[in-house]
Chains A and B, each alone.
Chain A
Amino acid sequence: MSQDTLVNDYKLLDLDDNATVEEAERAYHKMKALYAEGSLATYSLITTDQRDEMLDSIERAFMRIAREIKSQSSTPESPVTPDNAASPDPLKPGESIGAYLKNRRENLGMTLRDVAAQTKIRSTYLDHIENERLSELPAPVYLRGFVLEFARVLGLPDPESFTAGYLELIDEEDM
């Protein structure tokens, strides 16, 4: 990776050259929250395309920085960082979709509060989503956004279809 790109990556996440993995992670989560869909500070500032582009840049910048920091550190097994973690195993047939979310979250070492802070979704709702407490969940129109954000923060490969899958759960229940 060219030095030039890396310099911009650090600039994008507002990090010092000697930032630790933890600092990088914090900056990454902060930026993701700032440019998340529905973020009050950027909602009216940028177009959807600009937002997607920004989130993409943040994602890539963080991955490169995390790789860089890891390669410099002497310990071969640095702590797992969210999007640098092995890509999640796909949902197994028969596995509960809520439990899948919970597993993924715990594998990333994130608490419900961490996710709440990033998604701006109350942790009680996140807990209901993980435990599929269908009667406690908000109306599907809100739920869709909640699950989508949740899936994004956990770095699931295809948040949209994951969310669609989750919403099917409710449809089934209704029948």
Chain B
Amino acid sequence: MTGLNPEMNNTRPQIWAVGGGKGGVGKTVITANTAISLAQQGKRCVALDLDLGGANLHTILGVPDPDRSLTDFLNRKISTLAEAMVPTPYPNLHFISGSNALLEMANPKFSQKEKLIRHITSLDVDYVLLDLGSGSSFNTLDFFLSADEGVLVVLPEPTSVENAYHFIKAAFYRKLKKATKRSGVAEAIDKAMEEKVSRGIQSPRTLINSVLQINPEAGHALEEEARSFKPNIIVNQARRHDDHELGTDIVQACQDYFGINIRSIGHIDEDDSLKEAVRLRRAVVDAFPASSFASAIHTIVKNLLQARSDQQ
């Protein structure tokens, strides 16, 4: 790095959220290894498990069943989220277990979610990594949207790609909906959405165009929102050379059909060292630093850091 530390300009931590429609695409492994890669560079990090269905980030990080979790924070057993942080075997990296908390939080009150996000942003660390659950529930979308960098993991298979598009669209609409709270845009969106459904059009770009016709001011506000929506995409478990181009292909297709700019930040080839590392209960970047998986993770981290400094 060239001394461009985003956290130097900013007292609050940078939040990176890792999600991606489908389960089993490697979100947790990527979150854990990304966090370790950052920690290895001397950044103080916290990995937070927000996976509702299968919370197993602690296993990948080699943390025994933690005695404190998000539940304690939400139940007010502890007053700050920072108290739920437990150390990991990796220097600079802490962990917050979400295990049971999110089952109870399946439909958390808006205020609870806001409080959690507020506490996340006030943690005294440089980076917070969120391991999101699969699916496109409002919870997942809200945490994804609250992050400074949202990362989508996709596999080179039709169902996963389909889910990724679904997720991108859902997150985008959610973002627009939230933005409309402060202006009179909501009506225009609802009206355009109604027309959209009846005409069977399914693209954010056409939505914005219809809103522009109904209410130009609202339309411009939406265009502004669209510009600030820049999720990142990673292709995991690439097997063939073609798979390496899937990321940039999706970027192009999103631009053409959604009018949304996403960013392709890397691909990870299938790598046996992954299974080996899980068996050893160690993270790949730590156990097999020379593996293709580890170098892919470092590249992804580099690209995400670069993305931040480009924006500043």
Contacts and interface: CB of A to CB of B under 8 A. Distances in A.
Interface of A: 12, 14, 31, 34, 39-46, 50, 54, 120
A50 B205 CA distance: 14
Interface residues of B, number: 14
B227 to A, nearest CB: 17
Nearest to B250: A41
A46 B257 CA distance: 8
Interface of B: 156-158, 161-162, 165, 242, 246, 249-250, 252-253, 256-257
A12 B253 CA distance: 11
Contacts of B250: 41
Contact of A44 (B156, B165, B249, B252): B165
A46 to B, nearest CB: 6
B253 A34 contact: yes
A120 B156 CA distance: 14
Contact of A42 (B156, B157, B242, B253): B253
A96 B252 CA distance: 39
A40 B161 contact: yes
B253 A44 contact: no
B162 A54 contact: no
Contacts of B249: 34, 39-42
Nearest to B165: A45
A40 B157 CA distance: 7
A46 B258 CA distance: 11
B242 A120 contact: yes
11 contacts: A34-B253, A40-B157, A40-B161, A41-B161, A41-B246, A41-B249, A43-B161, A44-B162, A45-B253, A46-B257, A120-B242
B254 to A, nearest CB: 9
Contacts of B246: 40-41
